[in-house]
Amino acid sequence: QKAQAELARVSDSETPQTHAQVLITKGEILRDLWRCDEAIEVLQEILRLCDVGVKAKAEIDRLMPQLDRAMNEGREDDAEAFMNQMEPLLEKKQYAGLQKDFMGTHLTIAEMKESQEEWDAALDIYKLKVGMAMQYDNFGNPLNFTAVDQRRLYMGMSRCFYHKAEYKHAIELGSGAIEMNRHFPMVHKYVALSQKASGDMDAAVRTMARAVH
């Protein structure tokens, strides 16, 4: 309650950075309180602002060479027109910084959907908003996500497939998460549960044995 009161005291509109930080903190508090609908609403607003920032940055990048050319050629009226177009974009551009945790925000929304037992909605986010958005360089190294993001993706999808009784997919994805970090808490759970539900008790026992060694 004290944290929420402090958030209410801070003006959301002082600067884009302040506004963004207030939303991030508010989302974290609501997530920790498991007030899922409210947390999702805040997180979706963060993603909306991120999109605003990315589009503003792209438009500035498009206009900047034209501004430079107009100034170099002494076309003062054209230069002023370009600067007028860019002025409202400069503030919006600051929201582009939210992109650094773009994947993490989507993953948190999916996890909130899981907590509401909305398995299909969570899977849609995992597959369409995260999995399909992951980018790699020519050597297969991640460009816009971390190993933690990838593990959260595999574990989340494994949980969803388990609850949908699609055990083969749950085992495959959960096994991928185990290979990434077998010491991470709970990483073995839904693989073992899926193996047990599939009738392979021996495999389930072996999987859980790996969790304690």
74-93 as b/e: b if 16+ CB within 10 A: eeeeebeebeeebeebeebb
pTM for the model stands at 0.82
CA atoms within 13 A on the CB side of 23: 23
Rounded-to-integer distance, Cα 60 and Cα 176, Å: 41
163-211 residue pLDDT tens:
999 999 999 999 999 988 888 878 899 999 999 999 999 999 999 888 7
Cβ atoms 121, 109 nearer than 8 A: no
94-136 residue pLDDT tens:
999 888 888 899 999 999 999 999 999 999 999 988 888 888 8
Residue 117 carries which DSSP code?
T
